[in-house]
Structure 1
Amino acid sequence: MSVPRSSVPRRLPYIVCAVLVLLLAGCGTVGIAGTGGSGAPARSAGVPGSPGAGGASAAPSSAAPAAPPRPAPAPPREIPGLGPRTRAAIPAGTRQAFVVTGESADSNRSTAVLYTRDGPAADWRAAMAPWPAHNALNGWTSDHWEGDLRSPVGVYTLTAAGGRLDPPATAFPYDLSPDFKVAGEGFHGEPLEGSFDYVVAIDYNRLPGTSPLDHTRPLGTERGGGIWIHVDHGGPTQGCVSIAEDRMKELLGLLDPAQDPVVVMGDATSLSA
Structure 2
Amino acid sequence: MVPRRTAVGLGLGLLGSPLLFTGCGGGAGATGRRAGAPRPAPTATAPGARAPRIQAEAAPRAITGLGPRTTAAIPEHCRQAVVVTGRGRNSPRCTVVVHERTATGWQAGPAWPAHNALRGWSAHHMAGDLRSPLGVYTLSDAGGLLSDPGSRLPYHRSTGFTTRGTGFQGEPLAGAFDYVVAIDYNRARGTSPLDWTRPLGPGRGGGVRLHVGHGGPTHGCVGVARPHMRGLLRTLDPHRHPVVVMGYADWLAR
Task: Check whether TM > 0.5.
Answer: yes
Shift of 1:64: 5.4
Shift of 1:169: 1.5
In the alignment, which residue of structure 2 is the partner of 1:108?
92
Shift of 1:142: 1.1
List alignment gaps of at least 5 residues for structure 2.
1-32, 46-50
Counterpart amino acid of residue 200 in structure 2:
L
Q: Distance in 2 between matches of 1:205 and 1:125?
A: 29
1:30-85 CA-to-partner distances (Å, cap 9, x unmatched) read xxxxxxxxxxxxxxxxxxxxxxx9x6472443275599896542110001000000
Q: Does 1:258 align with 2:239?
A: yes
Q: Distance in 2 between matches of 1:237 and 1:271?
A: 20
In the alignment, which residue of structure 2 is the partner of 1:131?
112
* 1:235 aligned to which of 216, 223, 233: 216
In the alignment, which residue of structure 2 is the partner of 1:62?
41
Q: Does 1:192 align with 2:176?
A: no
Moved over 4 A (4+): 63-71
In the alignment, which residue of structure 1 is the partner of 2:196?
215
TM-score, normalised via structure 2 length: 0.81
Q: Distance in 1 between matches of 2:39 and 2:119?
A: 77
Q: Does 1:180 align with 2:180?
A: no
Q: Distance in 2 between matches of 1:272 and 1:174?
A: 33
The aligned runs of 1:1-273 (5 Å cut-off) are: 56=35, 58-62=37-41, 71-118=55-102, 122-127=104-109, 129-273=110-254
**Considering only CA atoms, is the larger Rg found in Structure 1 or Structure 2?**
1
1:189-222 CA-to-partner distances (Å, cap 9, x unmatched) read 1111110000000000111121101111111111
Partner SS, residue 252 of structure 1: helix
- Which fold has the larger relative contact order, with Cα–Cα distance below 8 Å and residues 6 or more apart in sequence? 2
List alignment gaps of at least 5 residues for structure 1.
1-52
Q: Distance in 2 between matches of 1:211 and 1:72?
A: 48
Shift of 1:144: 0.7
Partner SS, residue 124 of structure 1: strand
Q: Per residue, is there more strand in 1 or in 2?
A: 2
Q: Distance in 2 between matches of 1:70 and 1:238?
A: 54
CA root-mean-square deviation: 2.0
Partner SS, residue 72 of structure 2: helix
Q: Per residue, is there more helix in 1 or in 2?
A: 1
Shift of 1:118: 2.7
In the alignment, which residue of structure 2 is the partner of 1:4?
none
1:73-109 CA-to-partner distances (Å, cap 9, x unmatched) read 2110001000000000001011100001000011000
Q: Distance in 2 between matches of 1:106 and 1:133?
A: 15
Partner SS, residue 105 of structure 2: coil
Partner SS, residue 117 of structure 1: strand
1:3-45 CA-to-partner distances (Å, cap 9, x unmatched) read xxxxxxxxxxxxxxxxxxxxxxxxxxxxxxxxxxxxxxxxxxx
Shift of 1:240: 0.3
Q: Distance in 2 between matches of 1:145 and 1:62?
A: 76
Counterpart amino acid of residue 106 in structure 1:
N
